[in-house]
C-alpha cells in the first residue's frame, strides 16, 4: 500500500533497527525538557531515570491501546507492525 508522503512521513523515514530516529529523538528531547523545566530535575541520574520511566509508560500505553510498535516487537509484547510505504 502506498500513499503520498507528508512532512512527518519524510522525517520518520531514517530508521535504526526499523525504528524512526525522529520519533526517538523527539520523545527523548521532550522528556528531557519536561524533566528539567517542569519538574526542575538537575541531577543527571534523576533525568535518566525520568526518561526511562517515560519510555516505560509509552510502552505500557501502546500495549493498552493495541498499537503495535517495533520496540514492543523487539521485547516480545506484540507482532511486527505493518508498515505502509509512501511515495
Confidence bin at 85 (pLDDT 50/70/90): confident
Domain of 14, in residue numbers: 2-86
Q: Is 35 exposed, middle or buried (0-12, 13-18, 19+ CB in 10 A)?
A: buried
The reported pTM is 0.86
Distance in angstroms (rounded) separating the CA atoms of residues 86 and 83: 10
Tens-digit pLDDT profile for residues 3-30:
788 999 999 999 999 999 999 999 999 9
Confidence bin at 83 (pLDDT 50/70/90): confident
Closest by CA position to 54, among listed 70, 33, 79, 31: 31
Is pLDDT above 90 for 84?
no
Q: How many domains does the chain have?
A: 1
Distance in angstroms (rounded) separating the CA atoms of residues 77 and 59: 9
Amino acid at each position: 500500500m502506498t500513499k503520498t508522503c507528508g512532512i512527518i512521513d519524510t522525517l520518520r523515514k531514517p530508521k535504526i533497527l526499523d525504528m524512526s530516529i525522529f520519533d526517538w529523538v523527539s520523545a527523548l528531547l521532550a522528556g528531557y525538557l519536561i524533566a528539567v523545566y517542569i519538574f526542575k530535575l538537575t541531577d543527571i541520574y534523576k533525568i535518566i531515570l525520568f526518561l526511562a520511566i517515560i519510555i516505560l509508560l509509552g510502552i505500557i500505553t501502546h500495549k493498552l491501546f493495541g498499537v503495535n510498535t517495533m520496540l514492543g516487537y523487539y521485547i516480545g509484547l506484540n507482532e511486527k507492525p505493518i508498515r505502509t510505504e509512501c511515495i
